[in-house]
Amino acid sequence: MDYREFAPPPTLAGLVKARWTLAGGGDPDAWIAQQATPDGCIELIRRTHGRSRWDGDQPADFVVGLVDRPQAFTISGDAAFEALRLWPWAWTALGGAPLAEITGRWQACPAADFEAIERRLSAATDLGVLGLAIVGAPTVAAMGAATGMAPRALQRWFAAHVGVPPRAYLRLLRFQKAFETLPGETSLAGHAADGGFADQAHMAREFRELAGVPARQARVRARGPFLR
């Protein structure tokens, strides 16, 4: 499996996390088991070749909402994808499907023009600044301080623009940062401390629940938000 990730330009910081591609690179008659982990984002996905299954056959174009647990899916050996990974508030700014309709699942959607979406979002400078404050905050209190929102206002903003409470979202952000930066790490204890976990046991529990595998396995199997 060939997974590649491309950082967005600075004008899209806090709005678009990445573009990515995924190619099976194998036998078109074979099915390859994959697993996606929670990444705190909305995924606009276009399958350009082959087939894919997650709770049934998927169409060529679909959107995946926030997930809070590992999600198994399979792709044909010749499958190829390209996708745009958006922070949830960017999705709501675009007028996408209500967050509640796509949380924990995928939904068919018309083919998306990724370039047009990025051009539209590049004008949402204030929202990008707010997004950077959210994803860069180590605690819920820090989110409030960085955004200038009182606790109740922050709760309401998250309900409208993220779909989960601030504390639940912070958990997803902390896990995904640890997951994405785990390959190559030599010390799990040090990685837990750097990632804001209480201790290595805390990180281990989060990996078992959100990745579905121990951190030691994820260290060698992680590719972006996927387990190969």
Same domain, residue pair 111 and 135: no
Note whether 98 and 83 are same-domain residues. Answer: yes
**Between β-strands 61-64 and 42-49, what pairing exists: parallel, antiparallel or unpaired?**
antiparallel
Q: Give the count of domains, the chain.
A: 2
pTM of the model: 0.94
136 in the same domain as 111: no
Task: Give the confidence band of 225 by pLDDT, cuts at 50, 70, 90.
Answer: confident
**What does the pLDDT look like over 177-198, one tens digit per residue?**
998 888 877 788 888 888 888 8
Q: Are residues 116 and 154 in the same domain?
A: no
Q: In this structure, are 20 and 97 located in the same domain?
A: yes
| Same-domain status, 201 and 145 | yes
Whether the CB-CB separation of 182 and 191 falls below 8 Å is answered with yes
Count CB-CB contacts under 10 A for residue 81.
Answer: 20
Better pLDDT: 189 or 132: 132
Question: What does the chain come to in residues?
Answer: 228
Longest dimension (CA), the chain: 55
Are 82 and 191 in a shared domain?
no
User: Quick one: average pLDDT of 126-141?
Assistant: 96
Sign of CA dihedral 152, 154, 157, 163: negative
Residues 99 and 165 in one domain: no
92 lies in the same domain as 184 = no
Q: Are residues 158 and 208 in the same domain?
A: yes
**The last residue of a domain, from among 121, 148, 182:** 121
Q: What's 214's domain CATH number? A: 1.10.10.60
* For range 40-54, the mean pLDDT: 97
- If asked whether residues 194 and 90 sit together in one domain, one would say no
Last residue of a domain, one of 92, 121, 150: 121
Predicted confidence band at 227 (pLDDT cuts at 50, 70, 90)?
confident
Q: Are 99 and 163 in contact (CB under 8 A)?
A: yes
The three-state (H, E, C) secondary structure of 75-110, written as one string: EECCCEEEEEEECHHHHHHCCCCCHHHHCCCEEECC
Residue-number span of the structural domain to which 67 is assigned: 2-121
More confident residue, 189 or 150: 150
Q: What is the CATH number of the domain that holds 41?
A: 2.60.120
Q: Which of 96, 121, 146 represents a domain boundary (last residue)?
A: 121
